Structure 1
Amino acid sequence: MNHTYRLLKDDMDFFAAALSQVRVSVWHVLEDREHIIDYGGPVEAYSVVSIKIMGRRYFRNVFEFRLTLSKG
């Protein structure tokens, strides 16, 4: 499957996203569907438990974090 986004999973992914100040979106993914929770923004902080984006914290084990890839 060809995705137009990159899934952020480990600390290095979040560190790189925080340094480059790219927009990271937050998704809730179930077996049969997915929907966006927050269109996101830059990663402000991260820990083993949560990711802070635009002043809100999202649990890493509940949500999926995506970096949209440019098409050029």
Structure 2
Amino acid sequence: MCVHNPPCPSADAADRDAAHTVAGHPDQGWSLLCNGVLLFEDTGELLPDGEVIGPRRPSAGLAVAA
């Protein structure tokens, strides 16, 4: 899918989020990366094979118990 040189990280690479954005929809909270990953503003991801990667940061407004 990627035609950049050097090529973007594949969808199964640890640094897959570094791929170029090919379609950005910040109003809807997601971006499509050139490696086929759907990246959501909460840092969750949907990989091309259907695997769901949960958000890596807590949602705004959640308090952390002390």
Per the normalisation by structure 2, the TM-score is 0.29
The higher radius of gyration belongs to 2
Q: TM-score, normalised by structure 1?
A: 0.27
Structure number with the higher helix fraction is: 1
Higher-strand-fraction structure: 1
